[in-house]
Amino acid sequence: MKTKLAILFGGKSDEYSVSLHSAAAIIKNVPEEMFDVTLVGITQDGKWLLYEGSVDNVNDDTWHKENLSPVFLNMGNDFKGLVKLNLGNNTFEKIEIDCIFPVLHGRNGEDGTIQGLCQMSGIPFVGCDMTSSAVCMDKEFTHVICENSGIKTAPYIAAVNSNKLNVKKLYEQAYEKLSLPMFIKPANNGSSIGISKVRNYDEFEKGLIEAFQYDNKVVIEKMIEGFEIGCAVLGNEELIIGEVDEIDTKNDFFDYVEKYSQHNSKIYCPARISDELKAEAKQIAEKTYRALGCKGLSRVDMFVTPDNKIFLNEINTIPGLTDLSRYPSMLKKIGIEYSDLIVKLVELAME
């Protein structure tokens, strides 16, 4: 019996296009002998559409140009799956689904919203549950939980956008606690969108305005000297830890453009660090994953300082999943091929 797998792609998110590339790679690599795949594209304005066309049109974002039927998740107990609306004759069809793979990044994709919807539908889904997705997405909550679990993170302060916010006072407070340079990040966003490196008051003001365009809460962090490494984690109770990779970037940080073009950056997998540091990074990745209640998959990003201390940067519960993305590459290094990874993720979801 084939598993009926629904793959969700697109989404109301700043990372819509990243999702299309991840989904295209997954669709190409799904073992057809094991899965009966239903594709659901979510447009940038939030429409759910049943897509039956070619994967190339997903990759180049022309998939929604066709006349597609709306679908929605059934929330009742009568059956588990999608309801397809036939607009021509006002009828509907049921599409039974065994498992959902939300290949969605960023807001409305990995922040617990879609996960809550899947939980309500009663259909198993790939990745972290609603609570875990929400706390991993919110950089302030990640800090609070990880610090309480004894995981080193950058010193930080959080601030909420309101009429009462005194920017000069916030800057003084941040300067006193964090010194310069510092980073301003939207509390809930991915792919480094809306992040600024701040070296003076003018940049602080500009950085705040930019970050508040993406979220009404920001996290301001002390800059950690050093370079970034990452670690892939796969599993529920029993965990598989992938190879540690390293980002070598000439930019101020590994920003959105660099993540997807790598003009001034290179990724080394395995990372060019000692075996002891690699082992420590893997331990921190596992500890972070467990502290935040993750399931299925996550990529844990960390900093290594010049004196070889490791600080947690952030955790991504639906990391990029294109053929060339870091997460599959780290697992490939320990012998898990892309199609085996898809099978494993669905198995973990159905456990």
Mean pLDDT of 338-349: 97
What secondary structure does DSSP assign to 102-114, as a single string? EE--STTTSSSHH
Please tell me which residue, 303 or 192, carries the higher pLDDT value.
Answer: 303
Mean pLDDT of 137-142: 97
The set of residues, in sequence order, having a beta carbon less than 8 Å from that of 299 and lying 6+ positions away, is: 230, 231, 232, 233, 315, 316, 319, 326, 327, 330
pLDDT of 100 reads 98
Cα torsion 228, 233, 239, 244: sign:
negative
Mean pLDDT of 299-303: 98
Question: What is the average pLDDT score of the chain?
Answer: 94
List residues bridging with 253 in a β-sheet: none
Q: Please tell me whether the peptide bond between 181 and the residue prior to it is cis, using omega within 30 degrees of 0.
A: yes
Report whether pLDDT(259) > 70.
Answer: no
The domains of the chain, with CATH numbers, are 3-125 (3.40.50.20), 136-152+225-350 (3.30.470.20), 156-222 (3.30.1490.20)
Report whether pLDDT(350) > 60.
Answer: yes
Mean pLDDT of 256-269: 68
Q: What 8-state DSSP symbol labels residue 64?
A: G
pLDDT of 50 reads 98
pLDDT of 330 reads 98
CA angle 7, 341, 35 (to 5 degrees): 45
Length in residues, the chain:
351
Report whether pLDDT(253) > 70.
Answer: no
Strand order of the sheet with strand 182-186? 156-160, 217-222, 182-186, 196-198
Q: Please tell me whether the peptide bond between 70 and the residue prior to it is cis, using omega within 30 degrees of 0.
A: no
d(CA 262, CA 273): 21
Q: Which two tokens stand for residue 233?
A: 């984690």
Mean pLDDT of 88-106: 95
At residue 251 the predicted structure's pLDDT band, cuts being 50, 70 and 90, is: low
pLDDT of 264 reads 65
d(CA 38, CA 342): 15
What secondary structure does DSSP assign to 260-311, as a single string? HH-SSEEEESS-SS-HHHHHHHHHHHHHHHHHTT--EEEEEEEEE-TT--EE
- Express as a percent the part of the chain with pLDDT over 90: 90
Q: Residue-wise over 23-51: b if at least 16 C-beta within 10 A, else e?
A: bbbbbebbeeeebeebbbbbeeeeebbbb
Task: From 250, 248, 258, 271, select the one nearest 192 (Cα to Cα).
Answer: 258
Mean pLDDT of 253-272: 70
pLDDT of 173 reads 97
CB 41, CB 59: distance < 8 Å: no
- What is the bridge-based pairing of β-strands 81-86 and 91-96? antiparallel
- What is the bridge-based pairing of β-strands 99-103 and 3-10? parallel
d(CA 23, CA 350): 20
Task: From 255, 177, 168, select the one nearest 208 (Cα to Cα).
Answer: 168
CB 105, CB 127: distance < 8 Å: no
* Phi-psi sector, 126: left (phi>0), alpha (psi -120 to 50), beta: beta
At residue 176 the predicted structure's pLDDT band, cuts being 50, 70 and 90, is: very high
pLDDT digits (tens, 9 = 90+) for 9-55: 999 998 999 999 999 999 999 999 999 999 999 999 999 999 999 99
At residue 257 the predicted structure's pLDDT band, cuts being 50, 70 and 90, is: low
The model scores a pTM over 0.85: yes
CB 336, CB 344: distance < 8 Å: yes
